[in-house]
Amino acid sequence: MLTTLAVLGLAFSLDLLIGEPPTAVHPVAWFGRLVDAADRNWAGSERGQRLVGVAVAVLTPLVPAAVAGGLVLVATPLHPMAGPVTAALVLFLTTSLRSLLELTRDVVAATDGDPDRARERVRGLVGRDTSTLSPAGLRSAAVESAAENLADGLVATLVPFAVLAPVSLPAAAAAAAWVKGINTLDSMLGYPSKPIGTASARLDDLVMFLPARLAAVSIAVAAVDPLSLARARAWAQTPPSPNSGWPMATLACALGVRLEKVGVYDLNPDADLPTLAEGERAVAVVGRAAVVAIAVAVALAAIVTTVLTPFAPGLEPLRAILTTGDAAPAEVVRWA
């Protein structure tokens, strides 16, 4: 458990200190190039493209998972700290918090006097056409994205990592990279106009079911408004995604604002679009929600450790194989 805490602490310290690594050296961008290569017309029919898309959805996320898990597995025997540090790097690279909050804060601030800058900067958060959006509409877009990306960019990879880390750091790293690969596939291919991305979108819907709802709970707790989660039920299924509406609608209800993507969804429609002050508060709430989510992840890791500790002697050989690739000596009964 102490190792898990140290890994989580190092990963989020790196995020606070560094933020997002440059695109040229970011492994997620490298994976994006693989997705780009797969995004082509492999079959002459839509059905054929969908079948190819199943293979893309199943196989391509295994690449980052194998690389991440393999790196931790190889590093572990080299030095007592090598495995945990490598695992922390994987978690750091598969999560994004500081850059999300900074970009959202920058967009919200720019809406007060420099809407052109806000329109330019918000492109890093949303893919919609922002050329006609008012300052309030730009703030809405930024706030929506912050809520949704709390689930996609933090909770989705953090939770499986924290659950598996007490058992096997290579497995935890592989799981985080696998989920990030699925999120990336969905963001690049998961559009109705791309039949090859249908399977990726469905897989992402499945993987994001719990993280989106955990993010919504974290937002409600961070806003000190647990009833906002219940109020959000009225609009949580309005967006096309079965998951993204939960954190967005919860944040809208907690702030008492309207969040709208014109022609697609309208969350908490009886309220007004966010003011500058409400946009700033949204950034603060999402930041606190991230802390709540991290605390939940730590609690889950502690629960896993507590539940498995009595079985440690019997499970140690399996854990050794998962951690180093070698069976543990018979006398080793330690569970860390």
pLDDT, tens digit (0-9, with 9 covering 90-100), for 104-122: 999 999 999 899 999 999 9
Q: List CB contacts of 255: < 8 A, sequence separation 6 or more.
A: 143, 223, 274, 278, 281, 282, 285
Q: What is the pLDDT of residue 334?
A: 31
CA neighbor of 215 nearest in space, from 247, 243, 183: 247
Q: What is the pLDDT of residue 194?
A: 93
Domain ranges for the chain = 2-324
Rg of the chain over all Cα atoms, to the nearest angstrom: 21
Q: Which two tokens stand for residue 291?
A: 């802390």
Q: Which two tokens stand for residue 90?
A: 């994987």
pLDDT, tens digit (0-9, with 9 covering 90-100), for 121-155: 999 999 888 888 999 999 999 999 999 999 999 99
Q: What is the pLDDT of residue 326?
A: 55
pLDDT, tens digit (0-9, with 9 covering 90-100), for 18-57: 988 898 889 999 999 999 999 999 988 999 999 999 999 9
SS3 114: coil
Q: What is the pLDDT of residue 15?
A: 94
Q: What is the pLDDT of residue 114?
A: 93
Q: Which two tokens stand for residue 289?
A: 């929600």
Q: What is the pLDDT of residue 192?
A: 87
Provide long-range contacts, Cβ within 8 A and 24+ apart, for 200-205.
200/53, 200/56, 200/57, 202/57, 203/57, 205/241, 205/242, 205/243
Q: What is the pLDDT of residue 150?
A: 97
Listed as ranges, residues in the chain with pLDDT below 50 are 327-336
CA neighbor of 144 nearest in space, from 235, 11, 33, 270: 235
15 contacts 98 by C-beta, under 8 angstroms: yes
